[in-house]
Amino acid sequence: MASRGRRGRAPAREDEPRREERAEQKAPAPQGPVLPPPPPVDYGVFMQCLVEAMQTQAHTQATLQAQLEAQICLDGAYERCTARKS
């Protein structure tokens, strides 16, 4: 019996390109200018800014929630107040 490749597949013939080689051949040519690599990133500064932004967002959300609850209370008090006068 002839030896087979891994997982029972027949080995590739000599004149056939391998799967990896075929994938490289099918890659489209880049269009437009080639961009330079991005500048290096200081991840310590990045993380510090990210944490600060998240804290600011949490603070803003808490403030807006408190304002909304206060407005709901005021609206309810106003309705109760005007209901007594009429």
Annotated domain spans of the chain = 43-86
Tokens 């200081």 label which residue? Answer: 42
pLDDT of residue 31: 82
What gap in Å lies between CA 8 and CA 14, rounded to an integer?
18
What gap in Å lies between CA 17 and CA 25, rounded to an integer?
10
Q: What is the DSSP string of 8-75?
A: GPPPPPTTSPPHHHHHHHHPPPP-SPPPPPPPP--HHHHHHHHHHHHHHHHHHHHHHHHHHHHHHHHH
Q: What is the pLDDT of residues 1-55, one digit of tens each?
A: 555 555 666 665 666 656 666 556 666 777 888 889 989 989 999 999 999 999 9
pLDDT of residue 69: 87
pLDDT greater than 70 at residue 78: no
pLDDT of residue 8: 61
Query: CB of 4 within 8 A of CB of 11?
Result: yes
pLDDT of residue 29: 74
